[in-house]
Amino acid sequence: MLVMIPLHQSELLGLMSTSTLVFGWIPLQLAYDVTLILSGVVILYAMYRMAPEPPEEHEPTIEGGEETETKAVGGDQ
């Protein structure tokens, strides 16, 4: 992931000054940027898939259908 930061600086690679076309219609700079963005999306998706599931204690609770018994602390009930 840290390799993508210097690669994003396409001016260092000299891509801004070229007028080369990729596939005969897309400028090299635009093709490079799209490739960089798509590789970032693939990396983020892989990180999402490899992340563990959150523990159950962090799951949101449903308060509508279930009644829970609460105990008053220090009160007469």
Residue 61 lies inside a defined structural domain of this protein: no
Residue 35 lies inside a defined structural domain of this protein: yes
Reading the block at residue 7, the tokens are 């690669």
Residue 4 lies inside a defined structural domain of this protein: no
Confidence check: pLDDT of 77 > 60 = no
Nearest by Cα to 16 from 26, 29, 6, 7: 29
Task: Provide the pLDDT confidence category of residue 3 given band limits of 50, 70 and 90.
Answer: confident
48 lies in which domain range? 21-53
Task: Provide the pLDDT confidence category of residue 24 given band limits of 50, 70 and 90.
Answer: confident
Tell me how long the chain is: 77
Reading the block at residue 3, the tokens are 């390799």
Give me the number of domains the chain comprises. 1
Instruction: Note whether 29 and 9 are within 8 A (CB).
Output: no
**pLDDT, tens only, 35-59:** 989 999 999 999 999 988 877 776 6
Residue 76 lies inside a defined structural domain of this protein: no
Residue 13 lies inside a defined structural domain of this protein: no
Kind of pairing between the strands at 26-27 and 21-22: antiparallel
DSSP alpha helix (H) spans, 1-77 = 4-8, 28-50
